[in-house]
Amino acid sequence: MATTRPTLQDSALLVIDVQDSFKATPRWERRSNPALEVNVDRLIQAYRAAALPVFFILHSDQDEPFRTTSPHYRLMDFLKPGPDEPVLHKTTRNCFTSTPLQRMLTQRGIRRLAITGIQMEQCWRPRWPGTWWSTSAGTAATAAARGSLPARENDIKNTF
């Protein structure tokens, strides 16, 4: 049985760990991309304009700023999830192992992911036996987080 390549309409955006917990640490002032917020927001707006799903994921652990009881445990202020945009809470580094993300993506027929966020290289590892995933979208999301999105940010096709 041949596997077909996922199309843009098969994609979703994962916004991982863009939360105030990071701002509560001294390292935040030394971050490598001071335009993170603007770039991530541009990518979110492009996905919304294309009527594609966006998922937000928060990380919790025992470090004070990341505890669910901390006032810092929340999405950064510039993020405003829409009514159909889930906010998931993970307790492991991998957003697939401690959330219902895999089930939610499968139910929506999502087979292509764009991934952006803070330290997102640590926070996603899809392990879905028998599922073919396109990760080329991750390149565009990484570009968004680093500030190198194409000029036509509202045309989502140009970000891949």
**Mean pLDDT computed over 85-91:** 96
Residues 6+ apart with CB under 8 A from 129: none
Q: Has residue 7 got a pLDDT over 80?
A: no
- The token duo for 69 is 């009881």
Domain 8-159: give its CATH code.
Answer: 3.40.50.850
**Mean pLDDT computed over 59-82:** 96
pLDDT at 3: 64
Instruction: Give me the half-sphere count of Cα atoms (radius 13 Å) on the Cβ side of residue 64.
Output: 3
- The token duo for 125 is 């590892």
* Helix (H) or strand (E) segment spanning residue 15: strand 11-16
Candidates 115, 120, 58; CA nearest to 89 is 58
Where residue 131 falls (left for φ over 0; alpha for ψ -120 to 50; beta otherwise) is beta
**Mean pLDDT computed over 15-44:** 89
